[in-house]
Structure 1
Amino acid sequence: MTETNTTLSISVASGKGGVGKTNLALNLCLALHELGNTLVLLDADLGLANLDVLLGLSPEKNLQDLLGDASAENVVIPLAGDGLVLLPSASGVAELVEMDDDVQSLLLGKLDALFRRYDFLILDLGAGISPTVLSFAAMPQERIVVITPEPTSLTDSYALIKVLCTQRQIRNFQVIVNMAESQKEAKNAFNRLAQACEHFLSLPISLLGVVHRDPMVTESVRHQVPLLKFAPTCQAAQDIREIAKKIMERRIRLKDLISRSPILKPLI
């Protein structure tokens, strides 16, 4: 009898770098953990992994070790006891960056049992539309695309969504507008992206939330302390907690769909 899945997997992606995606993924995990959820945060930026840098960590093992004798339990780093763990990646390892079918199958086989023990699997992807990014974006049940109001962010995010929609037949995207000066600016940015997706792809996208520009974000990165711990009451931290509540509500609504879906859909 097949075990019923209860884990919601979400990839956090962006069309371009510099939009605060990794920082947002980390702090969303902390906010979801505050709400009583258990999570695995997977650093899937296989070219330039830096979640460990944001946390001031120096992992002894990472995803590359799973290609050898290491088990998932040997590689994970507890961030908040066993309720929130990090699966660190390695930067610039060709075998991971240019992942073939055999490597993908090996990794998913070793990680599946670990993922099933948690409420959420959050994947922090690399920026852009490389084949590995597209694969990791297509595997999970849900996708969050992080944008900023900058025109280049909107253009590149549209390109990411277009490729996933036309080449991978994916049609569910949630958008977070980060570094917004105001709600009005955020709504305008989202509307421009949504109109392009609707007009050219006949694809509706959803606004998951807005995170306002906040000087505490830069300070937290400089101190290598997550924002929700460094400045828990600042505006950006409050915004992230509101988004976490929506994600938690969405997991409850999608319970039946999650139970019928693999945590990560193999692309082989």
Structure 2
Amino acid sequence: MNDQAESLRRIVSHSGGPGAKVVAIVSGKGGVGKSNVCLNFALSLIKLDKKVAIIDLDIGMGNLDILMGMQSKRTIVDLLKSEWTIWDIIEKGPENLSYLAGGSGFSELIELKTEDMERFLTQLKALETEYDYIFLDMGAGVTKEGLKFILAAHEVMVVTTPEPTAMTDAYAMIKYIYLEDETKEIMVIVNRCETSREGEQTASNFKRVTKEFLKKEISVLGSLPDDRSVSRAVKAQKPFVHFDTKSNISKAMREMVLRYTGTKRPKPSYSFSQLIRGLKRKIVD
């Protein structure tokens, strides 16, 4: 295991247990429906009586607010540059989903002075103790700054499609993550499948390739159909699980979330804010 990942886990929190499970949602390339999957996965968890928050870290390209028919008034940058608390900035979406816009927050976070970082971590810790799940909607591809957040998350969900370019980029993303932390829990979601068989074949091929070349067994959460109701929901600025509850993709999403919550998973042994304390540590090239 990479020394940095190991040392980050050894950081001891001053404020107790790990709190929320933090899940980074990533993709190897843009245009695979990552943010839509993130939003609707989160809303489906809320239907199971889970408290969920999303932090939009797709800097410059974030569209979660548009998918919800919202317009963000404040961002992480406002938190860093003012005396506001995280509760002043967080907004409420459908189903009481909590949402925090990133703005240009990555560069601001990386450049924080020690005392300012401590203030931010105190705010983040308050968020962790309030929710069951916190989703990080990351930008497409991977940057050194983004990788630090991904490594700090408890789990990573990689969204891809059956297209060869999307699969290749998703594989590269997974390889990059494993180079930094070979123990990271990674799950794959295959989006926009024309048939269930295509989804199964794509997932099977992906598992085979990662096992053969990376020597890793990855989990496949399942596949989602290429459903026309998604584009209609986007135009209406509504999550597809609300726009048409009986659509094939809404049903598939509910089944996927049930599989996810029904699978026994180890509870986090460390908090996200603990690992974010290592943000200023350099990622190995």
Q: TM-score, normalised by structure 1?
A: 0.90
- What CA distance in whole angstroms lies between the structure 1 residues aligned with 2:15 and 2:77? 29
Cα offset for 1:140?
0.8
Deviations 1:207-246 (A, max 9, x none): 1111111000011011111111111110001111111112
* Match of residue 12, structure 1, among 25, 34, 44: 25
SS at 1:17 equivalent: coil
Report the equivalent of 2:87. Answer: 73
- What CA distance in whole angstroms lies between the structure 2 residues aligned with 1:98 and 1:148? 32
Deviations 1:25-70 (A, max 9, x none): 0011111101111011111112312111112211111111111122
Report the equivalent of 2:265. Answer: 254
**Would you say the 8 A contact 1:7–1:118 is kept in 2?**
yes
**Would you say the 8 A contact 1:16–1:156 is kept in 2?**
yes
Instruction: Using the TM superposition, name which of 35-44 and 126-135 deviates more.
Output: 126-135
Aligned AA for 2:271? P
Cα offset for 1:189?
1.3
Deviations 1:129-148 (A, max 9, x none): 11222222211101110110
- Map of 1:226-245 to 2, 5 A cutoff? 226-245=239-258
SS at 2:185 equivalent: coil
Report the equivalent of 1:96. Answer: 106
Aligned AA for 1:102? L
**Would you say the 8 A contact 1:44–1:126 is kept in 2?**
yes
**Would you say the 8 A contact 1:54–1:224 is kept in 2?**
yes
**Would you say the 8 A contact 2:109–2:117 is kept in 1?**
no
Cα offset for 1:263?
2.9
Report the equivalent of 2:207. Answer: 194
Cα offset for 1:11?
0.9
Cα offset for 1:168?
3.5
- What CA distance in whole angstroms lies between the structure 1 residues aligned with 2:111 and 2:270? 21
- Map of 1:170-181 to 2, 5 A cutoff? 170-181=183-194
**Would you say the 8 A contact 1:127–1:133 is kept in 2?**
no
SS at 1:9 equivalent: strand
- What CA distance in whole angstroms lies between the structure 1 residues aligned with 2:87 and 2:54? 14
- Indicate whether 1:223 and 2:236 are aligned: yes
**Would you say the 8 A contact 2:151–2:184 is kept in 1?**
no
- What CA distance in whole angstroms lies between the structure 2 residues aligned with 1:228 and 1:20? 14
Cα offset for 1:200?
1.6
- Indicate whether 1:62 and 2:62 are aligned: no
**Would you say the 8 A contact 1:44–1:136 is kept in 2?**
no
- Map of 1:139-154 to 2, 5 A cutoff? 139-154=152-167
Distance 1:233 1:156, change over 3 A: same
SS at 1:156 equivalent: helix
- The runs of 5 or more residues in structure 1 that have no matched partner are none
Aligned residue-pair number: 260
**Would you say the 8 A contact 1:41–1:86 is kept in 2?**
yes
Aligned AA for 1:159? A
**Would you say the 8 A contact 1:134–1:164 is kept in 2?**
yes
- The runs of 5 or more residues in structure 2 that have no matched partner are 1-13, 280-285
- Map of 1:59-138 to 2, 5 A cutoff? 59-69=72-82, 70-80=84-94, 83-90=96-103, 93=104, 96-97=106-107, 99-100=109-110, 102=112, 105=117, 107-138=120-151
Cα offset for 1:97?
4.3
